[in-house]
């Protein structure tokens, strides 16, 4: 045990003590000596015990000690604790150099060939050692028969991942040659990790900053959920999330840290690539990002491992008896460190060491070049290996490794500069330097062109790389989807939902929840259902679910719930099935994503139902939903309390009239706006069949409302129409219709009332249609139209919409609880027949009746719109129509709700 060299002087200064109190200095020295002796004799645990006891005593004595979350600006793992590196450093360095070269060359060459095609060279160059140590010694492809570790990688580092796969023989030179050329004869590699684009390679879409950290946390939690529910075996599998230091500023990155520690997720390791830079400049020019993150993570209960200095610094720290080296390390801010890197050895000598003569002395024997090459922790395999080893072995909490690196490491003049993130090409000089620094055996001209290089199959490098991967179970990244023999329940299974409510007034939400309850009882797929809810379970009437399957709690229920004697008490259980996330839609999306991709990641086809307040869905967590689609996620999003006029009383921030617009933009999302419970049943049954039986990569968005009304029985033969988007619900009561009324959600009931009023008061016969999905109808029409456009010589095909409407005459009045643009999607195929009513504009707090009147989607407004249109078409006397509007109570001069 070496005695620590702690200079008392700065502490005294920090405490603001006067020189007159200098005797304290002497006492401090004595205390430190005594402490050192105890640690030397009894070990670090004894030291920790002493300090803890002393701290408690100090507090009792009224000494106000600030909470200290930071440790000194040095490596967390002491040199004495390190293990020697187990690999062949020399060969590994060769491999790393080749990966570096190919990553850089790939981007360089592509931009020479196709200027502006982009790509990144500096993120990976800072990350290379952190990844190589992992690939050679830690990341396992499998644990027995179970899938191996999960890797969330910085999206901008993908050239490095491709380069390594190229060396491993997974990609041909042609594929590398087609980096960012995905639409050629021989498709190449996507810019970033996108399972949608490269389904056999990428697993986790990570390039939108912040999504990877939150998704990784919830993935780790979901892994435990599956283990605790007995659906997968418990293994040593880890989730590694490599994230940028700039990326940590995204609220999603840090927002769920305490979940990870609360749940004791020791299967989770974050590695923050602290290259001190983001895109425009330094992450914390005036501070130290590593220290800031250390405090935040430590405060959140994580195990923090700082990897700041490489081995080169160990010797300097050991030789410094003054404590000034640490002092200097701590007083420099990240902006200084960046300058040291850019400006080189002489500058480091003058500005870093030169501040104190003793430090100049310390490095007197080193040349400027040696100073410029003093390695940082994140570039030192020895330090990185030990950090990983400690992380993997840590129990009871997640670990974050804060590794200091250099952005653009090895890229010559681009190294550590503010503009390095944007660098795509290197100058000939930098290329030549790179080639010689990393010893790449290719001719100079090939180097200038950025030619890829892979040594022969029997070279030491390739043999070593392959042997290491073989040892760890194979190449890490492949995404494999097994074939499941899951059979979706037949529609009969949903008989209760199809039968209607026998006159009882219920909401579609209630109907949906009973359906979910029933599904949870299904002998085969019941256990695969994952109900997810962000604290609105009671709003949706889910208390009975809580009783039935319990809320997942990794520790079980450690308290006696106050409502235990009630039937529907708040039941938490270790094998509980519901994920009650608390108020975090983003976190719930993390769970939804983990569950909805479990079929690929764990080979267990989990079926998630994430039920949320529809207003706080797509607009709140739209990017996470987009990434879910990219990840080929499957499952059901259910937007409860839907509709801008159906959720009464809540007002502007709560009333959703546009989630269907937002849902429509996600290519794999099929959205439905349901009026009746049987519609939901048909959709859910078919959804389970398509996603989990047929293996289609799609997911569903269904809106569910809280208005109670009697649910009719499913009309015979309506299933296809429900799924494709439209079916006739109620033909005109008194003969041939001259008008068509489209309704969706609860507004279908307004439409039915309008149908009756029009027939009884105005002798106008109208058919009523339930439109479950404008979005599906439009997609079908667009696809048909495209086919017609591309095949002008063939018989024209007709979109489903027009088939369905065959023979239905007259104008069409479409009304829903969503914006007018939702039905307007169909306008191109309805040749001027469409009149749309909808809920454009901010919501108000009032009851349904007033809201529907305000937004002009009540029965009276629907009837009025129909009469007005018939008048314009010359089918009705215009003055009569105007009078009818008055009789219907329509205020023709009121403010337009779209602007109110």
Residues forming the site for ligand TPP (CB under 6 A)? 123, 126, 154, 156, 207-209, 244-247, 273, 275, 277-279, 283, 407, 421
In the complex with ligand TPP, which residue's Cβ is closer, 455 or 622? 622
d(CA 238, CA 139): 8
C-beta of residue 381 within 8 angstroms of C-beta of residue 129: yes
Q: How far is CA 463 from CA 167, 315, 449, 455, in A?
A: 10, 35, 27, 10
In the complex with ligand TPP, which residue's Cβ is closer, 275 or 703? 275
528 binds, among ligand TPP, Mg ion, none (CB under 5 to 8 A by kind): none
In the complex with ligand TPP, which residue's Cβ is closer, 247 or 673? 247
209 binds, among Mg ion, ligand TPP, none (CB under 5 to 8 A by kind): ligand TPP
723 binds, among Mg ion, ligand TPP, none (CB under 5 to 8 A by kind): none
Q: Segment near Mg ion (CB under 5 A), from 92-100, 275-283, 363-371, 481-489?
A: 275-283
Query: Least distance to ligand TPP from the beta carbon of 244, Å?
Result: 2
675 binds, among ligand TPP, Mg ion, none (CB under 5 to 8 A by kind): none
- Binding to Mg ion (CB under 5 A) within 224-253 occurs at 244-246
366 binds, among ligand TPP, Mg ion, none (CB under 5 to 8 A by kind): none
Q: Which residues have CB under 8 Å from 408's CB, separation 6+?
A: 121, 122, 125, 126, 414, 415, 416, 417, 420, 423
Query: Least distance to Mg ion from the beta carbon of 127, Å?
Result: 10
Q: In the Cβ-directed half-sphere of 308, how many Cα atoms lie within 13 Å?
A: 22
d(CA 349, CA 347): 5
d(CA 364, CA 349): 9
640 binds, among ligand TPP, Mg ion, none (CB under 5 to 8 A by kind): none
Task: Examine residue 282 and tell whether it contacts Mg ion (CB under 5 A).
Answer: no
In the complex with ligand TPP, which residue's Cβ is closer, 110 or 757? 110
**Where do we find the tokens 């502490």?**
11
Query: Least distance to ligand TPP from the beta carbon of 276, Å?
Result: 8
Query: Least distance to ligand TPP from the beta carbon of 294, Å?
Result: 17
Among left, alpha and beta (phi > 0; psi -120 to 50; other), residue 192 is: beta
Query: Least distance to ligand TPP from the beta carbon of 290, Å?
Result: 13
771 binds, among ligand TPP, Mg ion, none (CB under 5 to 8 A by kind): none
871 binds, among Mg ion, ligand TPP, none (CB under 5 to 8 A by kind): none
End-to-end CA distance of the chain: 75
Query: Least distance to ligand TPP from the beta carbon of 131, Å?
Result: 12
3-state secondary structure of 34: helix
In the complex with ligand TPP, which residue's Cβ is closer, 275 or 776? 275
247 binds, among Mg ion, ligand TPP, none (CB under 5 to 8 A by kind): ligand TPP
Compute the Cα dihedral for 412, 415, 417, 422 and give only its sign.
positive
Task: Examine residue 292 and tell whether it contacts Mg ion (CB under 5 A).
Answer: no
Query: Least distance to Mg ion from the beta carbon of 385, Å?
Result: 22
Query: Least distance to ligand TPP from the beta carbon of 280, Å?
Result: 8
C-beta of residue 161 within 8 angstroms of C-beta of residue 151: no
DSSP state letters, 853-865:
HHHT-SHHHHHHH
In the complex with Mg ion, which residue's Cβ is closer, 249 or 449? 249
d(CA 544, CA 547): 5
In the complex with Mg ion, which residue's Cβ is closer, 209 or 805? 209
Can you say how many angstroms the Cα of residue 635 is from the centroid of all Cα atoms in its chain? 16
156 binds, among Mg ion, ligand TPP, none (CB under 5 to 8 A by kind): ligand TPP
In the complex with ligand TPP, which residue's Cβ is closer, 166 or 192? 192
Which pair of tokens denotes residue 533?
């809810």
Q: Segment near Mg ion (CB under 5 A), from 276-284, 428-436, 483-491, 804-812?
A: 276-284
Compute the Cα dihedral for 171, 173, 178, 184 and give only its sign.
negative
207 binds, among Mg ion, ligand TPP, none (CB under 5 to 8 A by kind): ligand TPP
Give the total residue count for the chain: 900
C-beta of residue 271 within 8 angstroms of C-beta of residue 404: no
Query: Least distance to Mg ion from the beta carbon of 352, Å?
Result: 21
Q: How far is CA 11 from CA 14, 312, 456, 821, in A?
A: 5, 28, 59, 67
Nearest-CB residue for ligand TPP: 244
Query: Least distance to Mg ion from the beta carbon of 157, Å?
Result: 11
Task: Examine residue 275 and tell whether it contacts Mg ion (CB under 5 A).
Answer: yes
Query: Least distance to ligand TPP from the beta carbon of 273, Å?
Result: 5
Cβ neighbours around 92 below 10 Å, total: 22
Q: Which residues have CB under 8 Å from 542's CB, separation 6+?
A: 513, 531, 533, 578, 611
For residue 716, with 0-12 CB atoms within 10 Å meaning exposed, 13-18 middle and 19 or more buried, which class applies?
A: exposed
Whose CA is closest to 751, among 728, 780, 735, 775?
728
DSSP state letters, 777-811:
HHHHHHHHHHHHHH-TTSPPP--HHHHHTTT--S-
399 binds, among Mg ion, ligand TPP, none (CB under 5 to 8 A by kind): none
**Where do we find the tokens 């503010």?**
418
154 binds, among Mg ion, ligand TPP, none (CB under 5 to 8 A by kind): ligand TPP
In the complex with ligand TPP, which residue's Cβ is closer, 301 or 412? 412
Query: Least distance to Mg ion from the beta carbon of 409, Å?
Result: 12
Site string for Mg ion, 306-345 (x = CB under 5 A): ----------------------------------------
Whose CA is closest to 703, among 736, 648, 666, 744?
744
In the complex with ligand TPP, which residue's Cβ is closer, 179 or 613? 179
C-beta of residue 631 within 8 angstroms of C-beta of residue 197: no
Q: Which residues bind Mg ion (CB under 5 A)?
A: 244-246, 275, 277
């Amino acid at each position: 045990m070496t005695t620590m060299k702690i200079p008392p002087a700065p502490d005294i200064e920090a405490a603001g003590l006067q020189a007159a109190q200098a005797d304290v200095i002497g006492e401090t020295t004595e205390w430190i000596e005594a402490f050192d002796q105890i640690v030397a004799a009894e070990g670090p645990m004894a030291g920790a015990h002493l300090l803890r006891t002393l701290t408690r005593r100090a507090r009792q004595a009224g000494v106000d000690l600030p909470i200290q979350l930071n440790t000194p600006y040095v490596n967390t793992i002491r040199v004495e604790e390190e293990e020697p590196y187990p690999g062949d450093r020399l060969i590994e360095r060769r491999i790393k150099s080749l990966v570096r070269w190919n990553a850089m060359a790939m981007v360089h060459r592509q931009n020479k060939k196709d200027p502006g095609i982009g790509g990144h060279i500096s993120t990976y160059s800072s990350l290379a050692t952190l990844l190589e140590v992992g690939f050679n010694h830690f990341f396992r492809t499998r644990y027995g028969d179970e899938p191996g570790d999960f890797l969330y990688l910085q999206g901008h580092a993908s050239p490095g991942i491709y380069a390594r796969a190229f060396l491993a023989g997974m990609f041909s030179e042609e594929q590398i040659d087609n980096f960012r050329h995905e639409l050629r004869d021989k498709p190449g590699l996507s810019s970033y990790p996108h399972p949608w684009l490269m389904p056999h390679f990428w697993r986790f879409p990570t390039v939108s900053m912040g999504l990877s950290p939150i998704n990784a946390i919830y993935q780790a939690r979901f892994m435990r959920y599956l283990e605790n529910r007995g659906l997968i075996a418990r293994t040593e599998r880890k989730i590694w999330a490599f994230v940028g230091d700039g990326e940590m500023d995204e609220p999603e990155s840090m927002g769920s840290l305490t979940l990870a520690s609360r749940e004791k997720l020791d299967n989770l390791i974050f590695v923050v690539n602290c290259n001190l830079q983001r895109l425009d400049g330094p992450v914390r020019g005036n501070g130290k990002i590593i220290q800031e993150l250390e405090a935040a993570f430590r405060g959140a209960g994580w195990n923090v491992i700082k990897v700041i200095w490489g081995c080169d610094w160990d010797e300097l720290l050991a030789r410094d008896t003054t404590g000034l080296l640490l002092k200097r390390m701590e007083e420099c801010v990240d902006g200084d460190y960046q300058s040291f890197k850019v400006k080189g050895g002489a500058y480091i000598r003058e500005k870093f060491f030169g501040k104190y003569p003793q430090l100049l002395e310390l490095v007197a024997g080193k040349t400027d070049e040696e100073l410029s090459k003093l390695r940082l922790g994140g570039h030192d395999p020895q330090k990185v290996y030990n950090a990983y080893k400690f992380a993997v072995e840590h129990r009871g909490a997640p670990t974050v490794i804060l590794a200091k690196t250099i952005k653009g490491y090895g890229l010559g003049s681009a190294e550590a500069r503010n503009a390095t993130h944007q660098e795509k090409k290197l100058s000939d000089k930098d290329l030549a330097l790179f080639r010689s620094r990393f010893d790449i055996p290719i001719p100079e001209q090939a180097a200038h062109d950025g030619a890829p290089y892979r040594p022969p199959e029997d070279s030491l490098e390739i043999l070593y790389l392959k042997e290491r991967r073989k040892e760890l179970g194979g190449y890490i990244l492949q995404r494999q989807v097994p074939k499941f023999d899951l059979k979706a329940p037949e529609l009969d299974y949903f008989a209760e939902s199809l039968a209607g409510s026998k006159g009882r007034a219920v909401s579609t939400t209630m109907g949906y929840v009973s359906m979910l309850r029933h599904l949870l009882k299904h002998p085969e797929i019941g256990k695969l259902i994952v109900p997810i809810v962000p604290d609105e379970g009671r709003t949706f009437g889910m208390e009975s679910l809580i009783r039935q399957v319990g809320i997942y709690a990794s520790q079980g229920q450690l308290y006696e719930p106050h409502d235990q004697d009630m039937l529907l008490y708040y039941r938490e259980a270790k094998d509980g099935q519901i994920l009650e996330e608390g108020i975090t839609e983003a976190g719930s999306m993390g769970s939804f994503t983990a569950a909805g991709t479990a079929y690929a990641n764990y080979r267990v086809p989990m079926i998630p139902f994430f039920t949320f307040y529809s207003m706080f869905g797509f607009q709140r967590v739209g990017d996470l939903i987009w990434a879910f689609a990219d990840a080929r996620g499957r499952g059901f999003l259910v937007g409860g309390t839907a509709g801008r006029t159906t959720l009464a009383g809540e007002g502007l921030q709560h009333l959703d009239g546009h989630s269907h617009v937002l849902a429509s933009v996600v290519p794999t999302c099929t959205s439905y706006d349901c009026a009746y419970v049987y519609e939901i049943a048909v959709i859910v049954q078919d959804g389970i069949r398509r996603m989990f039986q047929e293996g289609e990569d799609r997911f569903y968005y269904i809106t569910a409302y809280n208005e109670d009304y009697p649910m009719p029985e499913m009309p015979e033969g309506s299933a296809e129409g429900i799924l494709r988007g439209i079916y006739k619900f109620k033909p005109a009561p008194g003969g041939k219709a001259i008008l068509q009324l489209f309704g969706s959600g609860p507004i279908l009931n307004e439409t039915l009332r309008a149908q009756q009023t029009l027939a009884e008061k105005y002798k106008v016969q109208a058919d009523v249609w339930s439109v479950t999905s404008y979005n599906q109808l439009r997609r079908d029409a667009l696809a048909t139209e495209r086919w017609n456009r591309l095949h002008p010589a063939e018989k024209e095909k007709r979109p489903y919409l027009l088939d369905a409407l065959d023979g239905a005459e007259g104008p069409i009045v479409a009304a829903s609880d969503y914006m007018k643009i939702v039905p307007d999607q169909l306008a191109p195929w309805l040749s001027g027949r469409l009149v749309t009513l909808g809920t454009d504009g901010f919501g108000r707090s009032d009851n349904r009746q007033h809201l529907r009147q305000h937004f002009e989607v009540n029965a009276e407004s629907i009837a009025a719109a129909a009469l007005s249109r018939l008048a314009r078409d010359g089918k009705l006397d215009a003055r009569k129509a105007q009078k009818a509007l008055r009789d219907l109570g329509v205020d023709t001069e009121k403010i337009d709700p779209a602007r109110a």
